[in-house]
Amino acid sequence: MQSNVREVRLNIENEFVLNLMAYFTTEENYVFVGNEGEVWLENLDHPKVQLIYINVQAELTHANTTFITQKLHFVMRNIRRKFLMHRVNALVLNVERFDEYTKTEGIKNISFVNVENAEAVYENQTLRKLFPGIATTNLSENIVELATRLKNDSKTRALQDVGFSMINKSPLVTQIYLVILGLFCLYLMFQIGRLPNTPIPADVFAAIHYGATFSPLIVAGEYWRLFTAAFIHLSLVHFFFNAMFMYRFGALLENVIGKWRFIFVIIVSALMGSLFGFAFSPRVSVGASGVAYGFIGVLLFLSFEMRKTFMPMTRQLVTQVMGFTLLFSFAMPNIDHFGHLGGLIGGFLATAIVGTPRTKPFMIRSVLSVVSLIILASGLWIRGVNLSEQENFNDINRALIFQYSEMGNITRAEQLLRALDIEVE
């Protein structure tokens, strides 16, 4: 990820303007994107105003208003294209004199507010609605104190930006998860080599035995399979593709959202990937692909939550994912694409629930995401149960029981006889 660190240099001596800038950058998380003579502030994550232009150059006449509007529309159009935003709203704060006959109302997505001093800001209802905290902030600080505060804030933001671009912390959760997957894959390959290929193929029997999603057993009460399937790989090729993908993005995302949030994402992505497969593709399914696509769901969420940092990466990712999926489809033809979709949705909703350490929590969003997750999971479960009842699993169920009996595992065979409600002829 490229860093966007820049040093703020200003050639502005208006104390009131510096107070406004200090408020917007420190309290509303705007970033200075102008130059020495122009004040442009940007916060693509703000729900109401993403771009602020403070007019400090000339009287606000009709000609100047037209010029500012054209310039704003050009910048807003570029932002929409670059960050895939449906709409960008801008605010022009005019601190200079203005021609009372100049029309500033009704301009699409741009609002003009005349504020010649702090009192005008406090009394302006438009600003109070857009920025509730502005009514109680101090806009009369000394210019020396302001300069120091703005400089320190600029350094802090620069360090945070560097923190995004240079990942110094070890992605411990990602590494542990991949090590577990790798060791278990080797163990399963060893076990498969020792199993007979009849009446059930050795790899299929091993997958079911160690926790793959298998609809009859899930309906019979082995719900844990919805989670354990994400730890099973039956070949090094399958493991390698998933591991390469997950380490590429897991190392970044774990550092951005934090270890505990990342663990929650893995759990939800695994469950949702398995639930989607259970609901739409009633077959034996294994692999951490749902978790891998859950990471894409996290990145999609971050691209909307922190557009400036993550949207460019997301746009580049689209091509990579398409290529990866195509290559993976040739390497592993029996792919559960519904599991991929479920993992992606699960990762997105999981991140929407827990948020990120760098952004303010939104309780309403978290509650709605929890409700959406519960409703979706319930619907998938009902559909999966109905689909399982419609499919005929008698042959594989009997073969599975016979295999356990042949291996001498009579206890498991009898357990399956009861769970699957099979009568012995």
Look at the block and give the residue holding tokens 């009514």: 135
* Together in a domain, 206 and 323: yes
Look at the block and give the residue holding tokens 């003009």: 112
Q: What is the Cα–Cα distance from 34 to 168, expressed in whole angstroms?
A: 30
Cα dihedral across residues 81, 83, 86, 89: positive or negative: negative
User: If we measure between CA atoms, which residue out of 416, 380, 412, 370 comes closest to residue 397?
Assistant: 416
Tell me the CB-side half-sphere exposure of residue 127, using CA atoms within 13 A. 24
Q: What's the whole-model pTM score? A: 0.73
* Together in a domain, 117 and 52: yes
Domain membership of residue 420 (yes or no) is no
Domain membership of residue 185 (yes or no) is yes
b/e per residue 47-81 (b: at least 16 CB within 10 A) = eebbbbbbbbeeebeeebbeebbeebbebbeebee
Domain around 142: 15-165
Task: Determine what percent of the chain falls in helix, strand and coil, rounding each to the nearest 5.
Answer: 65, 5, 30
pLDDT confidence of residue 327: 61
Q: What is the Cα–Cα distance from 424 to 398, expressed in whole angstroms?
A: 9
Domain membership of residue 396 (yes or no) is no
Domain membership of residue 123 (yes or no) is yes
* Together in a domain, 227 and 281: yes
* Together in a domain, 320 and 266: yes
Residues 6 or more apart whose Cβ sits within 8 Å of residue 115: 20, 93, 94, 95, 121, 124, 127
Picking from 150, 165, 180, the residue at the C-terminal end of a domain is 165
* Together in a domain, 129 and 221: no
Picking from 165, 196, 220, the residue at the C-terminal end of a domain is 165
Q: What is the Cα–Cα distance from 104 to 287, expressed in whole angstroms?
A: 59
Per-residue pLDDT 10s for the chain (425 aa) are: 444 444 444 445 578 888 888 899 888 888 888 766 688 899 988 889 999 999 887 788 888 888 899 999 999 998 888 887 888 999 999 988 887 767 778 888 999 999 988 899 999 999 999 999 998 888 888 777 776 766 666 555 554 554 444 455 678 999 999 999 999 999 999 989 888 877 888 889 999 999 999 999 999 999 999 999 999 998 888 898 889 889 888 888 898 898 999 999 999 999 999 999 999 987 889 989 899 999 989 988 988 887 777 777 777 666 666 566 656 555 555 677 888 899 999 999 999 999 887 666 678 889 999 999 999 999 999 999 999 888 888 888 899 998 998 888 899 988 998 888 776 55
* Together in a domain, 139 and 227: no
Domain membership of residue 8 (yes or no) is no
pLDDT confidence of residue 261: 94
Domain membership of residue 177 (yes or no) is yes
SS3 state at 31: strand
Do 366 and 349 touch, CB atoms closer than 8 A? Answer: no
Q: What is the Cα–Cα distance from 337 to 289, expressed in whole angstroms?
A: 9
pLDDT confidence of residue 162: 45
* Residues paired with residue 42 on neighbouring β-strands, in sequence order: 31, 51
pLDDT confidence of residue 98: 80
* Together in a domain, 87 and 198: no
CATH number at residue 364: 1.20.1540.10
* Together in a domain, 111 and 259: no
Strand 31-32 and strand 51-55: the pairing is unpaired
Picking from 130, 165, 200, the residue at the C-terminal end of a domain is 165
The structure tokens listed for 320 are: 């990579």
* Together in a domain, 222 and 153: no
Say what the alpha-carbon torsion angle 70, 72, 75, 78 is, to the nearest 10 degrees.
-70
Q: How far apart are the first and last CA of the chain?
A: 64
Look at the block and give the residue holding tokens 């009131």: 16
SS3 state at 36: coil
* Together in a domain, 153 and 187: no
Do 45 and 85 touch, CB atoms closer than 8 A? Answer: no
Residue 165, CA distances (Å) to 155, 160, 224, 300, 322 in order = 15, 9, 38, 18, 25
* Together in a domain, 153 and 176: no
Residue 245, CA distances (Å) to 26, 135, 189, 238, 288 in order = 37, 48, 21, 11, 10
Number of structural domains the chain divides into? 2
Residue 302, CA distances (Å) to 253, 256, 298, 323, 347 in order = 9, 9, 6, 22, 11
